[in-house]
């Protein structure tokens, strides 16, 4: 590394008059706020005969708009394994600075206004709102995080949803731990430096000096194009750190993980992974003797056997909404409590499948919100949950045990994140998680125009399959939200009586929908507001994929009847095209009676993920789709 520029420094609690006065920041058009300074320092200190990590952070933000006020609400996450092994957040300070009659009016955070919130069994967060913040204010906060987890040296993000003027990270490493890092989205740092620290320290009779690494970046733009991505973390400019080796005072060395094969071997030897699977198989062998349903399943063909065993676990054991790749309890506890995390449920199902002589392998993966897996270095932290790969009659299937309403062979949508790693001594490698068969969402409408009320009235039927169906099953409020204020609901909404994953989910209701009028003419879109009339892709260019999670098929069918004395004066022209990216057809037909029209359309997004080099074409095709849907039907009185 080499010195490329000069670092910047700030004094906490002291803000320059120019920062308080400046409300324009011409380089950052439309920004809600700007990070003026973001600095982090990681040190290793000795405590009770062992090293702990101490991370200090100071952040200063200029609030530019009313929407920017949200950045004064601060959340600081920390990890807790148990009462002894936990991260601690200390020394929280926060101040807002507001220019009042040329004077810096400061509002200081009261310690009593800092709250601790439990996110899940392992993650907590400190929460507080910086007081006295207004448009034009400068806010700053700092804190210290102490961590006993040497494997978890804090990462650093140089980029966020708002622009950053200056961001720096400084890491002091002791010679007993070696780390490697991945720099994402970085071509060149504005400042880099590494050197041997000047001060001498002593640990376990050994004198040593620290190695210091420094990184800084200036004028990092906001990450704003957040539509159709997995997670911001996959694309923002940042550094990920991973423990690679431990060098003990006696000279012995422990390689943490240097290859994927080593990581797989380590997981298979773990009590909470490989041994949990073996223990599950033994427990299932005992269960079969007393469980008539398991006995019946054992007589089925392998495919049906795997399907029924997956259903058995989903029906008899509950997911506690916790993700994980390692079990946090033993098999006996899991069976007694009948509740577990993604790890316990799926590892147990693997053990059960193997007890029935079905080839089943764990697949560790990263959910979409957790970020993509980078295959160039075996970071175990890349993974946060697991699924199951089955090999039956030379065919491969992916499944898992938590989502009761998903059909066998389907993973939850949040699992569809490029690839997963097979954890097996012989069958090592990566498995593709993307789904090619599209989910269906179909809208069928049978309507009549009522000129006196200026509304379309009639029946609506929504038919959904797979992931689209699951969204509406999980949240019955979705259909109400979709109807908005435009629809006048008549009676109750009817839902499918069956929740079978293999049967389409159907929602029926009657409603009214208002039409537009101008100079005595009546206008409406063929599919009302059900079909998109605005292109969802806004950016001129895109350097990362457009990720729709899964491929999609949308169908629209409308029959609209008008009363005597009215006629259709304008009907949109038909549009149809097919290419490797999208299939689209749109047609409006006039019934021979001339009192009805039938509008029919289908569009299919053939891929779940479109690469950056396909963006321009994809945007152009979606423009044609939304342009067709934006055309209106015109009705006139004869």
Give me the pLDDT at residue 257, please: 67
CA distance 272 to 364: 14
Same domain, 153 and 52: yes
Q: Is the pLDDT of residue 574 over 90?
A: yes
Among 162, 157, 168, 141, CA closest to 72: 141
Domain that holds residue 520: 439-637
Domain boundary residue among 380, 406, 432?
A: 432
Q: What is the mean pLDDT of the segment spanning 518-541?
A: 93
Same domain, 132 and 265: no
Q: What is the mean pLDDT of the segment spanning 444-473?
A: 94
What mean pLDDT is reported for the chain? 92
Same domain, 415 and 471: no
pTM of this structure: 0.81
- pLDDT class of 1 with cuts at 50, 70, 90: very low
Same domain, 596 and 468: yes
User: Over 72-116, what HEC string results?
Assistant: HEEEEEEEECCCCCECEEEEEEEEEEEEECCEEEEEECCHHHCEE
CA distance 239 to 157: 6
pLDDT above 70 covers a percentage of the chain that reads: 98
* CATH number, position 588: 2.60.120.1130
Give me the pLDDT at residue 592, please: 87
Q: Is the pLDDT of residue 139 over 60?
A: yes
Q: Is the pLDDT of residue 241 over 70?
A: yes
Same domain, 403 and 518: no
CA distance 189 to 214: 10
Give me the pLDDT at residue 580, please: 95
Give me the pLDDT at residue 5, please: 53
Q: Classify residue 45: in a domain, yes or no.
A: yes
Q: Is the pLDDT of residue 577 over 60?
A: yes
Same domain, 541 and 597: yes
Rounded CA Rg of the chain: 30
Q: Is the pLDDT of residue 29 over 80?
A: no
Q: How far is CA 562 from CA 43, 150, 574, 597, in A?
A: 75, 72, 21, 9
Q: Is the pLDDT of residue 457 over 80?
A: yes
Three-state DSSP class for 513? strand
Q: What is the mean pLDDT of the segment spanning 204-209?
A: 91
Q: Is the pLDDT of residue 225 over 80?
A: no
CA distance 53 to 152: 9
Q: Could you read off the pLDDT of 329-370 as tens digits, one per residue?
A: 999 999 999 999 999 999 999 999 999 999 999 999 999 988
Same domain, 589 and 485: yes
Q: Classify residue 149: in a domain, yes or no.
A: yes
Q: What is the mean pLDDT of the segment spanning 60-89?
A: 92
Q: What is the mean pLDDT of the segment spanning 558-575?
A: 94
CA distance 588 to 571: 7
Q: Could you read off the pLDDT of 381-402 as tens digits, one per residue?
A: 789 999 999 999 999 999 999 9
Structure token pair of residue 287: 């269960």
Q: Is the pLDDT of residue 3 over 80?
A: no
Give me the pLDDT at residue 91, please: 96
Q: Classify residue 359: in a domain, yes or no.
A: yes
Q: Classify residue 1: in a domain, yes or no.
A: no
* Residue 382 and residue 185 in contact, taking contact as beta carbons nearer than 8 Å: no
365-388 as b/e, with b when 16 or more CB fall inside 10 Å?
bbbbebbbbeeebbbbebbbbbbb
Same domain, 230 and 270: no
Total count of domains within the chain: 3
Q: Which of 21-35, 213-227, 573-587 has the lowest mean pLDDT?
A: 21-35
Domain boundary residue among 217, 233, 254?
A: 254
Give me the pLDDT at residue 315, please: 94
Q: Is the pLDDT of residue 82 over 80?
A: no
Same domain, 180 and 102: yes
Question: Cα 436 to the chain's mean position, in Å?
Answer: 20
Same domain, 283 and 313: yes
* CATH number, position 164: 2.60.40.3140
Half-sphere exposure for 254 (CA within 13 Å, toward CB): 9
Same domain, 461 and 366: no
Same domain, 536 and 630: yes
Q: Classify residue 125: in a domain, yes or no.
A: yes
Q: Classify residue 9: in a domain, yes or no.
A: no
Give me the pLDDT at residue 523, please: 95
Q: Could you read off the pLDDT of 263-305 as tens digits, one per residue?
A: 899 999 999 999 999 999 999 999 999 999 999 999 999 999 9
- pLDDT class of 486 with cuts at 50, 70, 90: confident
Domain boundary residue among 432, 457, 489?
A: 432
Q: Is the pLDDT of residue 85 over 90?
A: no
Q: Classify residue 631: in a domain, yes or no.
A: yes
CA distance 336 to 314: 16
* Residue 63 and residue 133 in contact, taking contact as beta carbons nearer than 8 Å: yes
* CATH number, position 299: 3.10.620.30
Three-state DSSP class for 203? strand
pLDDT above 90 covers a percentage of the chain that reads: 73
Q: Classify residue 3: in a domain, yes or no.
A: no
Q: What is the mean pLDDT of the segment spanning 129-133?
A: 96
């Amino acid at each position: 590394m080499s010195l490329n520029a000069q670092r910047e420094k700030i004094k906490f609690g002291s803000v320059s008059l120019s920062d308080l006065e400046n409300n324009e920041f011409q380089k950052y058009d439309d920004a809600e706020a700007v990070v003026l300074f973001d600095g982090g320092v990681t040190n290793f200190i000795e405590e009770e005969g062992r090293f702990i990590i101490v991370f200090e952070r100071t952040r200063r933000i200029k609030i530019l708009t009313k929407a920017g006020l949200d950045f004064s609400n601060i959340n600081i996450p920390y990890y807790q394994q148990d009462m002894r092994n936990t991260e601690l957040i200390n020394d929280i300070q926060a101040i807002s600075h507001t220019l009042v009659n040329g004077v810096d009016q400061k509002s200081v955070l009261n310690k009593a206004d800092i709250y601790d919130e439990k996110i899940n069994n392992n993650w907590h967060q400190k929460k507080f709102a910086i007081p006295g913040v207004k448009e034009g204010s400068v806010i700053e906060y700092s804190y210290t995080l102490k961590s006993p987890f040497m494997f978890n040296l804090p990462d650093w993000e140089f980029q966020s949803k708002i622009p950053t003027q200056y961001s720096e990270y400084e890491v002091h490493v002791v010679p007993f731990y070696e780390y490697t890092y991945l720099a994402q989205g970085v071509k060149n740092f504005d400042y880099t430096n590494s050197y041997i620290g000047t001060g001498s320290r002593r640990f376990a009779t050994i004198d040593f000096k620290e190695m210091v690494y420094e990184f800084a970046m200036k004028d990092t733009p906001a990450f704003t194009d957040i539509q159709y991505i997995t997670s911001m973390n996959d694309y923002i400019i940042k550094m990920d750190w991973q423990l690679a080796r431990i060098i003990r005072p006696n000279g012995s060395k422990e390689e943490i993980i240097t290859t994927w094969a080593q990581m797989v071997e380590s997981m298979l030897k773990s009590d909470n992974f490989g041994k949990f699977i073996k223990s599950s198989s033994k427990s299932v062998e005992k269960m079969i003797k007393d469980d008539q349903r398991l006995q019946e399943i054992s007589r089925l063909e392998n495919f049906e056997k795997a399907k029924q065993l997956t259903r058995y676990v989903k029906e008899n054991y509950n997911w506690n909404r916790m993700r994980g790749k390692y079990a946090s309890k033993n098999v006996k506890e899991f069976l007694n409590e009948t509740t577990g995390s993604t790890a316990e449920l799926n590892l147990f199902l693997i053990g059960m499948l193997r007890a029935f002589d079905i080839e089943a392998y764990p697949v560790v993966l990263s959910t979409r919100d957790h970020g993509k897996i980078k295959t160039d270095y075996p970071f175990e932290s890349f993974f946060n949950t697991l699924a199951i790969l089955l090999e039956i009659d030379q065919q491969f299937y992916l499944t898992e045990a938590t989502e009761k309403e998903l059909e066998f062979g389907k993973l939850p949508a949040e699992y569809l994140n490029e690839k997963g790693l097979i954890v097996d001594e012989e069958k090592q490698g990566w498995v593709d998680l993307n789904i090619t068969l599209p989910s269906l969402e179909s809208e069928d409408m049978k309507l009549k125009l009522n000129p006196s009320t200026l509304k379309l009235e009639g029946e609506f039927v929504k038919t959904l399959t797979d992931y689209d169906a699951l969204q509406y099953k999980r949240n019955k409020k979705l259909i109400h939200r979709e109807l908005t204020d435009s629809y006048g609901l008549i009676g109750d909404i009817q839902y499918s009586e069956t929740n079978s994953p293999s049967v389409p989910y159907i929602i029926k209701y009657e409603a009214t929908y208002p039409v537009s009028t101008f100079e005595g003419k009546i206008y409406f879109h063929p599919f009302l507001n059900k079909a998109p009339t605005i292109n969802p892709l806004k950016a001129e260019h895109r350097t990362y994929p457009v990720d729709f999670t899964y491929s999609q098929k949308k169908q629209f069918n409308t029959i609209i009847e008008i009363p005597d004395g009215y006629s259709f004066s304008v009907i949109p022209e038909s549009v149809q095209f097919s290419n490797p990216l999208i299939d689209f057809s749109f047609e409006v037909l006039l019934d021979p009676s001339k009192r009805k029209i039938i509008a029919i359309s289908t569009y299919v997004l053939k891929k779940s993920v479109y690469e950056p080099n396909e963006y321009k074409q994809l945007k152009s095709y979606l423009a044609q789709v939304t342009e067709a849907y934006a055309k209106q039907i015109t009705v006139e009185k004869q």
